Amino acid sequence: MNPIFDIQPLLGTSHIPLNAPREQILSSLNQPFKSINKYPERAQPSDAFYRNDLHVSYQGQPASVESIEFAYSDLFDVTLLGESILNLPVNSALAKLESLTGLTPHTPDNGYTYEIPTLGLWLWRESNDNFDENGFYFFTIGIKAIR
């Protein structure tokens, strides 16, 4: 059975709390990982888990979780407040996001990214080519610490 990562706005996920020390995350996930230079402007590398489908980014000394990003994966399930989002077409996912949070997501880039900045929450899709008969789908969902 795949692990389930349930995103809780402002808190992190069921397995990865925002602001938790890096060592705690490496120990609790107990998964192979590789450090990547996802954000070259940052002093801290990010860690990639589950075939690069989960990225945890850090900041500060000692390193603590600043953001968590999940790609659609067959290795784990990701939910938002107990509800699946990435398996829904974009319009349904946005309606579900608004229903769950009471807030309307906005897009700064004509529909590739949708954000709710006050919750540190975002959804992203890489192109207009990722669709089927139901429409377009988001590829990643993320949460970040609000400081």
Are 8 and 66 members of one domain? yes
Q: Which domain holds residue 117?
A: 87-141
Specify if 132 maps to a domain: yes
Q: Name the domain count of the chain.
A: 2
Q: pLDDT digits over 18-77, tens only?
A: 999 999 999 999 999 999 988 778 778 999 999 999 999 999 989 999 999 999 999 999
Specify if 79 maps to a domain: no
Are 61 and 15 members of one domain? yes
Helix and strand counts by DSSP (H, E) for the chain: 2, 13
Decide which of 46, 71, 96 is a domain's last residue. 71
Are 8 and 67 members of one domain? yes
- Note the pTM of the prediction, 2 decimals: 0.92
Please give the pLDDT value at position 38.
Answer: 82
Strands 4-8 and 12-13: antiparallel
Are 99 and 134 members of one domain? yes
Cα dihedral angle (71, 77, 83, 87), rounded to 10 degrees?
A: 60
Q: pLDDT digits over 71-126, tens only?
A: 999 999 999 999 999 999 988 999 999 999 999 999 988 888 999 999 999 999 87
Specify if 82 maps to a domain: no
CA-closest candidate to residue 90, choices 62, 63, 124, 42: 124
pLDDT of 137 > 90? The answer is no
Please give the pLDDT value at position 113.
Answer: 93
